[in-house]
Chains A and B, each alone.
Chain A
Amino acid sequence: MTDRSKTPSISRRSLLKGAAGVAGLAGSGTLLSAPYVHAADPKVLRYLGTAVNEGDEISKKCLADTGIKIEYITATTDDVTKRVITQPNSFDVLDTEYFSLKKLVPSGNIFPLDARKIKEFDNITPVFTKGELPNGKKIGGQGTAPWKVLYLEGANSKTFSATPTEYVTLIPTVYNADTLGIRPDLIKRPISSWAELLNPEFKGKASILNIPSIGIMDAALVVEATGQYKYADKGNMTKAEIDLTMKVLTEAKKAGQFRAFWKDFNESVNLMASGETVIQSMWSPAVTKVRSMGIPCVFQPLKEGYRSWASGFCVSKAVGGSPKLDWAYEFVNWYLSGWAGAYLNRQGYYSAVLSTAKANMTEDEWGYWMEGKPAKNDIKAPDGTLMEKAGAVRDGGSYDDRMGGVVCWNAVMDENDYMVRKWNEFIAA
Chain B
Amino acid sequence: MAVTIDNTPDTIAPAASGWRKIAVRSIAWLQAGPMTLVFALFFLLPLVLVVIVSIWDYNEYEMIPAFSFRGYTDTFEGCVANLPELCTILKTYLKTLKLCLLTWGLTLMIGFWVAYFLAFHVRSKTWQIVLSLLCTIPFWTSNVIRMIAWIPLLGRNGLVNQGLVGAGFINKPVEWLLFSEFSVVLALVHLFTFFMVVPIFNSMIRIDKRLIEAAYDAGASGWQTLVNIIIPLAKPGIVIGSIFVITIVMGDFVTIGVMGGQQIASAGKIIEARLSALQFPAAAANAVILLGITIVIISALTRIVDVRKEL
Whether A and B touch directly in their complex, counting CB atoms under 8 A apart, is answered as: yes
What is the interface of chain A, defined by CB distance below 8 A to chain B? 78, 81-82, 85, 102-103, 106-107, 204, 210-213, 253, 258-261, 263, 266, 270-271, 274-276, 412-417, 420-421, 423-425, 427-429
Please list 17 pairs of residues, one from A and one from B, whose beta carbons are closer than 8 Å in the complex, sorted by A's number: A78-B276, A102-B60, A106-B61, A253-B263, A261-B263, A271-B151, A274-B155, A276-B151, A412-B61, A421-B77, A424-B88, A425-B88, A427-B92, A427-B264, A427-B273, A428-B88, A428-B92
How far apart sit A382 and B58, CA to CA, in the bound complex (Å)? 45
Question: In the complex, are the beta carbons of B261 and A258 less than 8 A apart?
Answer: yes
Give Cα A276–Cα B155 distance, bound, in whole angstroms.
Answer: 7
Q: Is the CB of B178 within 8 A of A276?
A: yes
Are B265 and A427 in contact (CB-based, < 8 A)?
yes
Sort A-B residue pairs by CB-CB distance and give the 7 closest, nearest first. Answer: A260-B261, A428-B265, A261-B262, A106-B62, A78-B276, A428-B91, A425-B88
CB distance from B157 to the nearest CB of A (A): 5
Check B156–A424 contact: CB distance below 8 A.
Answer: no
B213: interface (CB < 8 Å) = no
Interfacial chain A residues near B175, Cβ < 8 Å: 204
With the chains together, A102 CA to B61 CA distance in Å? Answer: 6
* Separation of A321 and B152 alpha carbons in the complex (Å): 51
Given A210-B262, A424-B265, 8 more A-B residue pairs with CB atoms under 8 Å apart are: A85-B280, A103-B62, A266-B148, A413-B60, A427-B262, A427-B265, A427-B269, A428-B95
Distance in Å: Cβ of A140 to nearest Cβ of chain B: 23
- What are the residues of chain A within 8 A of B157 when measuring CB–CB? 274-275
Complex: how many Å from CA A420 to CA B71? 13
A89 to B274, CA, bound (A): 23
Q: Closest B-chain residue to A253, C-beta based? A: B263
A85 touches B278 (CB 8 A): yes
Identity of the chain A residue whose Cβ is nearest the Cβ of B152 in the assembled complex: A274
**Complex Cα–Cα for A204 and B275 (A):** 29
Q: Which residues of B contact A204 (CB under 8 A)?
A: 175
Given the known A-B contacts A204-B175, A212-B273, are A424 and B61 also in contact in the complex, defined by CB atoms under 8 Å?
no
- Count chain B CB atoms within 10 A of each CB in A106, A412, A428 and give the residue with the most: A428
| In contact, A103 and B262 (Cβ under 8 angstroms) | no
The CA-CA distance from A411 to B279 in the complex, in Å, is: 16
In the complex formed, the residue of B with least CB distance to A205 is B156
On whether the beta carbons of B88 and A212 are closer than 8 Å, the reply is no
- Distance A413 CA – B270 CA, assembled complex (angstroms): 19
Contacts of A270 in B (CB 8 A): 148, 151
> In the complex, are the beta carbons of B277 and A212 less than 8 A apart?
yes
Task: Tell me which residues across on chain B come within 8 A of A271, comparing CB atoms.
Answer: 151
Q: How far is the CA of A121 from the CA of B149 in the complex (A)?
A: 45
B262 with A421: CB separation less than 8 A: no
Chain A nearest CB from B118 CB (Å) reads 30
Q: With A106-B61, A270-B148, A427-B263 in contact, do A260 and B179 touch (Cβ < 8 Å)?
A: yes
Does any Cβ of A come within 8 Å of B74's Cβ?
A: yes
B58-A424 in contact (CB<8A)? no
For residue A412, which residues in chain B have a CB less than 8 angstroms away from its CB? 60-61
Q: Does A424 contact B62, Cβ atoms closer than 8 Å?
A: no
Contact with A along B39-65 (1 / 0, CB 8 A): 000000000000000000011111000
Provide the residues of chain B in CB contact with A211, threshold 8 Å. Answer: 276
- The answer to whether A261 touches B261 (Cβ under 8 A) is yes
Q: Given contacts A107-B62, A210-B262, A424-B92, is CB(A274)–CB(B270) below 8 Å? A: no
CB distance from B29 to the nearest CB of A (A): 22
